[in-house]
Structure 1
Amino acid sequence: MTPVRPVDAASILLLDRSGGTIRVLVGKRSSRHVFMPDVYVFPGGRRDAGDRLVSIASPLNPLALERMAVRVPRCSGSRLRALAVAALRELYEEAGLSVGAPLADVPEGGLPFRPDLSKLRFLARAITPTGMVRRFDTRFFTLFADEAGIDPSGAAASHELEDVRWVDIFDHTGIEMPDITVLILEELQKSIQEDKSLPFGRPAPLYRNRHGHFLRDLL
């Protein structure tokens, strides 16, 4: 049986620090999903071919882009940029939140804004182990809602994420999450404890499975 090759994907941890705690936006995946149904995840999904063609308002921070390029041979800047675009596109499609400059004329089937990538931090990368029905090479980004001009109360459910809610990053008791989501949340916790500003050039972990062994490398 030919192994399933992982496809590029992106996910975003949108953070609300307006109160006494830091909260992250999660939503419950529909039971109709083949991959990880009925669990809470961060907004995200696969990179679409059209994400490379999207006109952006501002590029990725150079330090974030440099960190993303580590351990990615023959990877173009446009592909890395497209991953960041995918993260913001999914945030819009799944939670109704726009990050960027509004467009007066919206292209058919396109985003109603030009994505602003400048405030995205690269948090982690994870590759789905072999043997899964679907495999993804996912880049996880963080974004502070206040830096992006987002009102946390504007998050809304969609057909992709049915129950959108804000969760304390240090307490997700009673919320069922996939193992990788919990791992990424733990990475966020450690990063916040080290530096609440989440520096753009911070080393990011790569989670992968090699010969049956679970590995965590720093990029």
Structure 2
Amino acid sequence: MPETRTPDKSAIRHAATVIVLRDRETHPKILMGQRGARAAFMPNKFVFPGGAVDAGDAKVPLAGALPALCATRLAEDARAATPHALAVAAIRELWEETGLVLGASGAWPDDVPDDWQGFAARGYLPSAAGLQFVFRALTPPGRPRRFDARFFLVDAEDIANDPDDFSAASDELSHLQWVSLRDARAFDMPFITEVVLSEIQARATDKAPPASIPFFKNNDEESLFLRLRGVPMSG
């Protein structure tokens, strides 16, 4: 019989997280939800929608590509993850966890993957044109799950459906709500979410993609706070 391998829970998985920003020029708010008490990763914490990249994400078509500057920043020190797959994962996780559609009207060119059936049934193809890559963080060693997470910012105006309608959301996040940036720190959230919030607050009214991206890199030897400027990894 072939050897059965137990999944390596310590392996680092690529992940994408989406920060939806609303009313950015008046009273900025962000969309957050609470993870379940039994969740293996960050139980009970308030977080942004997001999750791991799936193998099929690289094959999902996009109606609109990522901004070129964001794609360049994503490619730096990226190893196996492609900007396309990361963008698709961000859109998919936003859809699954909130029911919000980041997409453009259109028909799928091929068979629709199972994860995208509900999305496609509404007449949309995913679009990454409104995503901005704004932050990257690597989960420190010793955690039950480790992720190399890319954080994307998107304006609520780019959401194709009603931003207050969470009826199609899965049960992975509860208490989905729009939280004022000013009041967000009163919620019980992970440390890295607080760090990302500071970055969002600093650029809440700036709609241009950032020139460089903060990278909180925790490896087995040390923790580094770097800036990504779009230099591809050699080798």
Q: TM-score range by the shorter chain?
A: 0.7 to 0.9
Q: Which residue type is aligned with residue 65 of structure 1?
A: A
Q: 1:172: which partner in 2?
A: 184
Closer, same or farther in 2 for the Cα pair 1:65/1:215, shift >3 Å? Answer: same
Identity of aligned residues (%): 36
Q: 1:97: which partner in 2?
A: 100
- Structure 1: gaps (5+ residues): none
Corresponding pairs, count? 212
Closer, same or farther in 2 for the Cα pair 1:18/1:207, shift >3 Å? Answer: closer
**More deviation, 9-18/97-106:** 97-106
Q: 2:207: which partner in 1?
A: 198
2:56 partner SS: helix
Matches within 5 A, 1:27-176: 27-73=33-79, 75=80, 79-102=82-105, 107=112, 109-111=114-116, 112=120, 113-156=124-167, 158-176=170-188
How far residue 203 of structure 1 moved from its aligned partner, in angstroms, is: 1.2
Checking the alignment, whether the CA contact within 8 Å between 1:54 and 1:114 is kept in structure 2 is: no
How far residue 28 of structure 1 moved from its aligned partner, in angstroms, is: 0.4
Closer, same or farther in 2 for the Cα pair 1:191/1:19, shift >3 Å? Answer: closer
Checking the alignment, whether the CA contact within 8 Å between 2:9 and 2:144 is kept in structure 1 is: no
TM-score w.r.t. length of structure 1: 0.87
**Matches of 1:173 and 1:8, distance apart in 2:** 26
Q: 2:29: which partner in 1?
A: 23
How far residue 133 of structure 1 moved from its aligned partner, in angstroms, is: 1.2
Q: Which residue type is aligned with residue 94 of structure 1?
A: E
Q: Which residue type is aligned with residue 91 of structure 2?
A: L
How far residue 190 of structure 1 moved from its aligned partner, in angstroms, is: 1.6
TM-score w.r.t. length of structure 2: 0.82
Checking the alignment, whether the CA contact within 8 Å between 2:134 and 2:210 is kept in structure 1 is: no
How far residue 137 of structure 1 moved from its aligned partner, in angstroms, is: 0.2
Q: Which residue type is aligned with residue 217 of structure 2?
A: R
1:94 partner SS: helix
Closer, same or farther in 2 for the Cα pair 1:19/1:149, shift >3 Å? Answer: farther
- Structure 2: gaps (5+ residues): 1-7, 229-235
Deviations 1:19-42 (A, max 9, x none): 831100000011221111111000
Checking the alignment, whether the CA contact within 8 Å between 2:104 and 2:160 is kept in structure 1 is: no
Q: Over alpha carbons, which structure has the higher Rg?
A: 2
